[in-house]
């Protein structure tokens, strides 16, 4: 597919500065711009053979998107021989495999294939809060470039006993976790010979989504390519503070480092109405105010609305009806119903249980055929009360599945059993869990037309024709644990990411009464962010329905 570059994309392609910062909000053609940047670096000889361009992304999907776009600009041999595309864990694993000996890493060290820390927390029957604190403590311990011994010293402080136990088990088992990969990579790159080798091998570095970098990851990037790095992203999409990212700190460091900045301000994804709602949050998010690249091409200019409901159940029924109506009008469209957290979205999940259109829950297990069939068979015969009464419910579940004797797809089955365990322990029935099992691949399911149920973080990088954001109450959005100015700003960015997934229209919804986990109704106030969003002059519920009823659905479906 041939795409005519925009003026901003051409400027990025043709920029001769070796260090470049690209501010690219959602829907502005960032992936295309990065592919063009790499083409320009190689064509001009800025990166001369045999040197390569290192491209880093945060997820497998983002990595694959960039690689796919590069195929349109580079011959297959050039892409293979002159460009390395990897996520950060992949870059770190490469360093460890090739040069782990410089810091004494054993050759037979076991690399992570799953969330081993989470798995051990389940096996030890840690409750949710303890498990979360273990994960957080280990992450913090390993983001300062500590050696194994120094990590242990850090964890021996009072109050860190559970994390210490997990770390001691990890060391004794000769294995690594995902948090260990960048830690050890940074230690390896402290070796001048290894650092010189990577400086010589890579003539340029391209970083996708710079705002999601942890300070540790930025240090790794700078060892390999300081002064020769293209950073692309958008501060308004920095939503991974819980994983150690520091958007403001990293953004300032990157701005100080780069000699040239290119800012995108035209969206090719969203209608003017959607952009108006996203722009209304820019004071809080630090994002760039966007305009539509072709405003006249959007039927009716798009749609934006916010709606109030008396109860969460009423909100859920309303959101389900609206989503089904949209799919009935436009069967090829995708409707995303997004909440800040999975528990807050549970009312909508229940309301759509008997829907006659396709519904995809992104937090459900998507399994290969063999694993799905095994798990469904297990759930038909499982004695759930007996499992829950067991001293170790997860071990009980694995024994019923005869996990120890499974030879193929063992990691897939382990993750499926963990998912099943968590749902059953939280009160789901075996029948409901069985009904949630999907067979296929995540890529095929998440791009299918229909209704998609997800959370704000899992939807980043995706797009939908319509987005319905539910649960916009203080305490949920922003989360009740967000108490500092930076954490409140990150919550505003989470909301901005949710809204900016939409193409044609976006609706923000809240309820005045929401039951807690025990079923007790709790009074709620609308999100404080509504003060900002109100300036975008959205429609009320009646106006929104009038807009939908009067719309040219042939034109909407074609856009």
Q: Are the CB atoms for 14 and 37 separated by under 8 Å?
A: no
Q: Are the CB atoms for 88 and 219 separated by under 8 Å?
A: no
Residue 181 lies in a domain: no
Which residue, 230, 264, 298, sits at the end of a domain? Answer: 264
CA distances from residue 359 to 44, 188, 315, 453 in whole angstroms, order as listed:
48, 46, 18, 7
- What is the domain count for the chain? 4
Same domain for 260 and 338, yes or no, is no
Same domain for 74 and 211, yes or no, is yes
Nearest to 240 by CA among 210, 264, 281, 262: 210
Same domain for 431 and 449, yes or no, is no
Q: What is the CATH number of the domain that holds 255?
A: 3.40.50.300
Same domain for 208 and 77, yes or no, is yes
Q: Looking at the DSSP assignment, which residues form a beta bridge with residue 71?
A: none
Same domain for 147 and 204, yes or no, is no
Same domain for 167 and 199, yes or no, is no
Q: Express as a percent the part of the chain with pLDDT over 70.
A: 98
Residue range 122-134, pLDDT digits in tens: 889 899 899 999 9
Q: Say how far apart CA 215 and CA 174 lie, in whole Å.
A: 27
Residue 284 lies in a domain: yes
The pLDDT, as a whole number, for residue 1 is: 47
Considering only 61-65, 128-132, 328-332, which range has the smallest mean pLDDT? 61-65
Handedness of CA 359, 363, 368, 372 (dihedral sign): negative
Rounded to the nearest 5 degrees, what angle is found at the Cα of 82, between the Cα atoms of 80 and 87? 75
Q: Are the CB atoms for 300 and 547 separated by under 8 Å?
A: yes
> Tokens 């809060």 correspond to what residue?
129
Same domain for 238 and 385, yes or no, is no
**401 — phi, psi (to 5°)?**
-80, -5
Beta strands in 486-555 (DSSP E): 502-515, 521-523
Q: Which residues contact 546 (CB under 8 A, 6 or more apart)?
A: none
Kindly tell me if the per-residue pLDDT of 481 is higher than 50: yes
Which residue, 264, 290, 307, sits at the end of a domain? Answer: 264
The pLDDT, as a whole number, for residue 549 is: 87
Please tell me whether the peptide bond between 491 and the residue prior to it is cis, using omega within 30 degrees of 0. Answer: no
Residue 544 lies in a domain: yes
The pLDDT, as a whole number, for residue 145 is: 87
Note down the domain range covering 42.
7-92+186-264
**361 — phi, psi (to 5°)?**
-100, 115
Question: What one-character DSSP code corresponds to residue 151?
Answer: H
Burial (CB < 10 A; 0-12, 13-18, 19+), residue 499, is buried
The pLDDT, as a whole number, for residue 249 is: 92
Mean pLDDT of 9-16: 91
Same domain for 386 and 477, yes or no, is no
- Which of 2-11, 66-75, 153-162, 369-378 has maximum average pLDDT? 153-162
Same domain for 471 and 551, yes or no, is yes
Beta strands in 328-426 (DSSP E): 334-339, 359-361, 366-367
Q: Say how far apart CA 515 and CA 408 lie, in whole Å.
A: 43
Kindly tell me if the per-residue pLDDT of 3 is higher than 70: no
Query: 462 pLDDT band (50/70/90 cuts)?
Result: confident
- Measured from the Cβ of residue 96, the count of other Cβ atoms closer than 10 Å reads 22
Residue 103 lies in a domain: no
Mean pLDDT of 11-21: 92
The pLDDT, as a whole number, for residue 412 is: 81
Strand pairing class (502-515; 521-523): antiparallel
Q: Say how far apart CA 362 and CA 342 lie, in whole Å.
A: 10
Residue range 496-537, pLDDT digits in tens: 999 999 999 999 999 999 998 888 999 999 999 999 998 777
Please tell me whether the peptide bond between 360 and the residue prior to it is cis, using omega within 30 degrees of 0. Answer: no
Nearest to 230 by CA among 12, 8, 62, 70: 12
Residue 108 lies in a domain: no
Q: Are the CB atoms for 374 and 413 separated by under 8 Å?
A: yes
> Tokens 């429609």 correspond to what residue?
539
Question: What one-character DSSP code corresponds to residue 289?
Answer: P
Considering only 297-311, 324-338, 433-447, 518-532, which range has the smallest mean pLDDT? 433-447
Kindly tell me if the per-residue pLDDT of 44 is higher than 60: yes
- What does the longest C-alpha to C-alpha distance in the chain come to? 69
**53 — phi, psi (to 5°)?**
-100, 125
Question: What one-character DSSP code corresponds to residue 207?
Answer: E
Kindly tell me if the per-residue pLDDT of 443 is higher than 80: no
Same domain for 329 and 239, yes or no, is no
Residue 99 lies in a domain: no
pTM of the model: 0.87
Please, what is the average pLDDT of the chain?
91
> Tokens 């919550």 correspond to what residue?
491
Kindly tell me if the per-residue pLDDT of 39 is higher than 50: yes
Question: What one-character DSSP code corresponds to residue 247?
Answer: H
Q: Say how far apart CA 261 and CA 130 lie, in whole Å.
A: 43
Query: 2 pLDDT band (50/70/90 cuts)?
Result: low
Same domain for 452 and 501, yes or no, is yes
Which residue, 264, 290, 306, sits at the end of a domain? Answer: 264
Residue range 186-228, pLDDT digits in tens: 999 999 999 999 999 999 999 999 999 999 999 999 999 999 9
The pLDDT, as a whole number, for residue 26 is: 85
Residue 211 lies in a domain: yes
Q: Say how far apart CA 246 and CA 135 lie, in whole Å.
A: 18
Same domain for 356 and 456, yes or no, is yes
Residue 549 lies in a domain: yes
């Amino acid at each position: 597919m041939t795409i005519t570059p925009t003026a901003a994309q051409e400027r990025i392609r043709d920029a001769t500065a070796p260090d470049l910062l690209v501010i690219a909000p959602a829907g502005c053609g960032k992936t295309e711009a990065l592919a063009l940047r790499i083409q320009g670096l190689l064509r001009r000889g800025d990166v001369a053979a045999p040197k390569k361009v290192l491209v880093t992304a945060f997820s497998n999907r983002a990595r694959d998107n960039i690689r796919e776009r590069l195929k349109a600009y580079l011959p297959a041999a050039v892409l293979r021989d002159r460009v390395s595309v990897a996520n950060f864990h992949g870059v770190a694993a490469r360093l460890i495999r090739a040069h782990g000996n410089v810091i004494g890493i054993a050759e037979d060290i076991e690399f992570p294939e799953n969330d081993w820390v989470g798995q051990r927390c389940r096996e030890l029957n840690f409750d949710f809060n303890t498990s979360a604190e273990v994960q957080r403590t280990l992450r913090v311990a390993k983001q300062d470039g500590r050696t194994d011994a120094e990590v242990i010293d850090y964890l021996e402080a009072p109050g860190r006993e559970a994390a210490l136990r997990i770390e001691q088990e990890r060391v004794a088992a000769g294995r690594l976790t995902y948090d260990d990969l960048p830690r050890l990579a940074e230690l390896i790159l402290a070796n001048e010979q290894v650092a010189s080798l990577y400086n010589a091998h890579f003539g340029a570095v391209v970083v996708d989504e710079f705002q999601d970098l942890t300070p540790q990851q930025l240090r790794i990037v700078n060892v390999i390519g300081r002064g020769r790095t293209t950073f692309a992203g958008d501060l308004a999409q920095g939503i991974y503070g819980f994983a150690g990212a520091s958007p403001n700190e990293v953004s300032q460091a990157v701005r100080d480092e780069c000699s040239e900045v290119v800012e995108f301000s035209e969206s090719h994804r969203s209608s003017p109405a959607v952009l108006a709602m996203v722009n209304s949050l820019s004071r809080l998010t630090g994002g760039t105010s966007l305009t539509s690249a072709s405003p006249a091409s959007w039927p009716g200019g798009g749609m934006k609305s916010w709606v109030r409901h008396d109860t969460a159940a009423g909100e859920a029924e309303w959101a389900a009806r609206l989503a089904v109506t949209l799919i009935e009008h436009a069967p090829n469209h995708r409707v995303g119903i997004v909440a800040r957290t999975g528990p807050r979205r549970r009312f909508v999940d229940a309301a759509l249980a008997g829907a006659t259109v396709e519904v995809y829950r992104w937090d459900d297990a998507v399994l290969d055929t063999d694993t799905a069939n095994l798990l469904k068979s297990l759930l038909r015969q499982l004695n759930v009360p007996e499992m829950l009464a067991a001293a170790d419910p997860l071990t009980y579940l694995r024994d019923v599945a005869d996990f120890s004797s499974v030879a193929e797809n063992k990691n897939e089955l382990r993750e499926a059993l963990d998912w099943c365990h968590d749902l059953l322990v939280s009160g789901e029935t075996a029948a409901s869990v069985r009904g949630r099992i999907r067979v296929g691949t995540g890529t095929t399911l998440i791009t299918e037309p229909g209704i998609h149920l997800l959370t704000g973080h899992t939807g980043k990088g995706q797009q939908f024709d319509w987005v319905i954001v539910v649960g916009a109450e203080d305490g949920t959005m922003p989360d009740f644990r967000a108490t500092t100015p930076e954490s409140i700003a990150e919550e505003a960015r989470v909301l901005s990411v949710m809204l900016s997934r939409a193409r044609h229209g976006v609706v923000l919804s809240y309820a005045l009464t929401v039951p807690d986990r025990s079923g007790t109704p709790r009074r709620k106030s609308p999100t404080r962010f509504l003060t900002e969003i109100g300036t975008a002059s959205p429609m009320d519920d009646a106006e929104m329905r009038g807009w939908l009823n009067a719309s040219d659905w042939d034109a909407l479906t074609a856009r």
